[in-house]
Homo-oligomer: A and B are copies of this chain.
Amino acid sequence: MDKVNLTEGFAKIAEHWRPRVVAELNGQEVKLVKFEGPFIWHQHDHEEELFLVVKGRFRMEFRDRSVDLEEGELLVVPRGVEHRPVAEAEVEILLFEPKGVLNTGNRLDALYTAPLGQRL
């Protein structure tokens, strides 16, 4: 039962697009991830995903619109909805989602797919 300091956690993360698990509760995981640039279009057929901007900003693109997210803003992406995060500069994100969610959802491109359950 140790606390997690977000600043210290992000300082340990060098790679972009690789979520790292920092806490687990009720079958859900809290992950830290850094984004930069455009990700790939994907969807999660069975899970909703929460994105909370801890530092920086990014744009969540959907097929029919997009949502600009600033520091201290959060967004829940519904299951089955195609989305693509795009960050013009590096951004620090906290994710909440069920254990075992693959970052690339229905896409398994080797370039971006990160290992599951990787602890920080």
Q: Which A residues contact B (CB, under 8 angstroms)?
A: 1-7, 22-26, 28, 30, 47-50, 52, 54, 62, 67, 69-70, 72-78, 81, 94, 96-98
Contacts and interface: CB of A to CB of B under 8 A. Distances in A.
Nearest to A10: B72
Given A54-B72, A75-B1, A77-B1, A26 B47 contact: yes
- Copies of this protein, total: 2
Nearest to A46: B26
Contact of A25 (B1, B23, B70, B76): B76
A5 B72 contact: yes
Nearest to A50: B25
Contacts of A2: 75
